[in-house]
């Protein structure tokens, strides 16, 4: 799942264009040999970076003729005014010239410091090098889009149908500024299946909602967040009908969920991966609101980092989520492992502390993977979120990010 060999009709490259001072890969292109059906989900932050605005504009104009995505690091090209928009357009023009396409067929993504203009000479160098290096090196492409990430993030799955097989593969980056409100970070997903524009967009939106919209590192939604899906049909498998559409949706969900969890596990300064399950809420929306409030609470996250099974902080966060919550009906459990369903230890029930051993609770919370389950006892609403602790290292990374 976490490696990509090839996707028919797509070629990728990651190169060093001189954007990063340390010589690491910093520019990537993902290109299709033929026009693709495209879909996208974009940040709901009202401060949107130039590449987000440009891609939204191009997707609205046409979802059936896209050829490539180009991604630069170091500069987010956000809050850069008209010059930033011109630079984003020029970046797409350079890619278009290099792969024999039109600028309108190119998406661009940027990640890095807000308020900095793209260094266009280095962008031009990146386009030249990457376009000449296009091949199947997905590892390099995934590495080239990293900022504070410590490792590349990629996932792929092959789907078997009665007509044959097709592949879904994606790369993503993200480590900080992770608190989704549509998707989060940057992600490019490719498939050699043939999709209609409507199916591509609905499937991507649904998949993002159960994956990227369910992860939290620090509580910040970026100006540059986006996920782009490109489908080029080169497998000669057309996804149509309810059964095939559901199969595609399940596979896409699996790929995006894998990428999402990889982001949390590589979060800035992260030492613990926390699966948070909220059940028994009045509605799914209420469950999500409670879960997000818990997952973004600095008090909860620092308790995890300190190996402190301080369940009171979790219950307090649930109570301030702004949706119905009755502590007298609620129960809180800890367990070892990712999305664990067995071995649960009850810490709180019926409005008060449960009869548990502090040593047992501490033994659970000291593990690298912990599941927290909250049963609200108030209805059928539920959701899962994946989050993490908040460490000294997170503060160190973000305290000198621009330097």
Residue ranges for the known binding site for substrate are 147, 173, 184, 268, 398, 403
Binding site listing: 147, 173, 184, 268, 398, 403
Report the C-alpha gap between 361 and 355 in whole angstroms.
11
Tokens, residue 19: 């954007």
Backbone angles phi, psi at 372, to 5 degrees: -110, 125
DSSP state of 326: -
Q: Which of 135, 137, 249, 140 lies closest to 193 in space, CA to CA?
A: 249
The strand pair at 164-173 and 186-191 is best described as antiparallel
Q: What is the DSSP string of 220-277?
A: -B-SS-EEEEEE--TT--B--HHHHHHHHHHHHHHHHHHHHHHHHHT-TT---EEEEE
Residues ≥6 apart with Cβ < 8 Å to 150: 175, 266
Tokens, residue 241: 């009908």
Question: Residue 110 belongs to what H/E stretch?
Answer: strand 106-110
Tokens, residue 8: 């028919």
Tokens, residue 81: 């005014």
Tokens, residue 49: 């970076």
Contact call for residues 285 and 383 (beta carbons, < 8 A) = no
Residues with active-site annotation: 184
Angle at 351 between CA 347 and CA 352, to 5 degrees: 50
Cβ atoms < 10 Å from Cβ of 271: 15
Contact call for residues 229 and 69 (beta carbons, < 8 A) = no
Report the C-alpha gap between 215 and 218 in whole angstroms.
10
Q: Which of 189, 157, 153 lies closest to 41 in space, CA to CA?
A: 189
């Amino acid at each position: 799942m976490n490696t990509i060999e090839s996707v028919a009709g797509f070629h990728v490259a990651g190169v060093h264009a001189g954007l990063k001072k340390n010589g690491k890969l910093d520019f990537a292109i993902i290109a299709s040999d033929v026009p693709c059906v495209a879909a996208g989900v974009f940040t709901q932050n009202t401060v949107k970076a130039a590449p987000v605005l440009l891609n939204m504009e191009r997707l609205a104009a046409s979802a059936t003729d896209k050829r490539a995505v180009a991604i630069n690091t170091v500069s987010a090209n956000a809050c850069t005014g008209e010059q930033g928009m011109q630079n984003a357009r020029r970046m797409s023009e350079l890619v278009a010239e290099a792969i024999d396409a039109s600028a309108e067929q190119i998406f661009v993504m940027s990640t890095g410091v807000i308020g900095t203009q793209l260094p266009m000479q280095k962008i031009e160098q990146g386009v030249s090098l990457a376009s000449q290096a296009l091949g199947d090196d997905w590892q390099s492409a995934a590495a080239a889009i990293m900022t504070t990430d410590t490792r590349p993030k990629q996932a792929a799955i092959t789907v078997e149908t009665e007509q044959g097989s097709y592949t879904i593969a994606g790369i993503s980056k993200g480590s900080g500024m992770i608190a989704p409100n549509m998707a989060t970070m940057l992600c490019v997903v490719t498939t050699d299946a043939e999709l209609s524009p409507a199916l591509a967009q609905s499937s991507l939106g649904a998949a993002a909602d159960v994956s990227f919209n369910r992860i939290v590192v620090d509580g910040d939604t970026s100006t540059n967040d986006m996920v782009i899906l490109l489908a080029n049909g080169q497998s000669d498998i057309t996804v149509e009908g309810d059964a095939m559409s559901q199969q595609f949706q399940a596979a896409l969900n699996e790929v995006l969920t894998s990428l999402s969890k990889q982001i949390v596990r590589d979060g800035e300064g992260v030492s613990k991966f926390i699966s948070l399950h909220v059940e028994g809420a009045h509605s799914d929306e209420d469950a999500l609101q409670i879960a997000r409030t818990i997952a973004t609470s600095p008090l909860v996250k620092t308790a995890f980092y300190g190996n402190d099974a301080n369940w009171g902080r979790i219950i307090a966060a649930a109570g301030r989520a702004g949706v119905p919550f009755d502590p007298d009906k609620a129960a809180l459990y800890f367990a070892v492992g990712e999305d664990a369903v067995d071995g649960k230890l009850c810490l709180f029930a019926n409005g008060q502390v449960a009869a548990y051993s502090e040593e047992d609770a501490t033994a659970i919370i000291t593990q690298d993977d912990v599941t927290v389950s909250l049963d609200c006892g108030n209805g059928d609403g539920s959701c899962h979120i994946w989050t993490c602790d908040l460490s000294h290292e997170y503060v160190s990374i973000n305290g000198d990010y621009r330097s």
